């Protein structure tokens, strides 16, 4: 019975990772194609749907950690996924996610990963994480005037829920969370890199 559930787990995670990888490849394709043909002004419109689908699918990774399908701790997964969802739905990931989901897709499907893909998975973040965090904070900051004027996602009273929500202040709070959160996640990823690459050398 344990063997059956292990097989079922691998099949599910393989399907999940390959599907999300396909979504991120679509995002990259549409971004590059539109940049070449129409310019950066039209990039988001071209990549919006696959971007929303691919990034929102990452919510399942939180559930995977909660139910024990993967070993990733919720304390690192939750802030990563939440910040990306906030940026995607509120205000581009593609290269880091292609590396990530190809790594897990190969690992779950074949039971191993080539050394070059393992190195990419645990080394590309050294540069991409810093540029990604800077981009996220920058994009939120640039979007603040639009959020304030448009009142996007705001809930005003009176309403049947008798509650209100101001997305402008939520965006400011999100920027504030990046300050203590980013170093914590970066240190966690450095520890993960050391552990994964050391294990690879021993094998």
Q: Where in the sequence numbering do the catalytic residues fall? A: 129, 136
101 burial type by CB count under 10 A (0-12 exposed, 13-18 middle, 19+ buried): buried
Q: How far apart are CA 93 and CA 185, in angstroms?
A: 17
Using CA atoms of 193, 100, 9, 111 in order, give the dihedral in degrees to the nearest 10.
-70
* Structure tokens, 89: 């739905």
SS3 111: coil
At a CB cut-off of 8 Å and minimum separation 6, what does 70 contact? 13, 61, 64
Of the candidates 72, 67, 58, the one whose C-alpha atom is nearest the C-alpha of residue 21 is 58
């Amino acid at each position: 019975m344990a063997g059956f559930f292990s097989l079922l787990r691998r099949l599910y995670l393989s399907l999940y990772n390959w599907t999300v990888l396909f979504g991120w490849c679509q995002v990259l394709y549409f971004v590059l194609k539109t940049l070449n043909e129409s310019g950066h002004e039209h990039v988001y419109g071209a990549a919006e749907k696959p971007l929303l689908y691919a990034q929102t699918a990452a919510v399942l990774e939180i559930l995977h950690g909660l139910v024990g399908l993967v070993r990733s701790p919720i304390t690192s997964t939750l802030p990563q996924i939440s910040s990306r969802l906030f940026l995607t739905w509120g205000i581009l990931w593609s290269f880091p996610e292609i590396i990530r989901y190809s790594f897990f897709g190969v690992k779950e499907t074949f039971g191993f990963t080539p050394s070059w893909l393992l190195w990419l998975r645990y080394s590309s973040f050294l540069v991409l994480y810093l540029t990604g965090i800077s981009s996220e904070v920058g994009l939120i900051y640039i979007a603040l005037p639009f959020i304030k004027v448009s009142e996007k996602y705001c809930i005003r009273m009176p309403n049947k829920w008798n509650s209100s929500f101001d997305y402008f202040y939520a965006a400011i709070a999100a920027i504030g969370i990046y300050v203590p959160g980013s170093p914590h996640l970066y240190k966690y990823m450095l520890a993960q890199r050391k552990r994964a690459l050391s294990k690879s050398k021993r094998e």
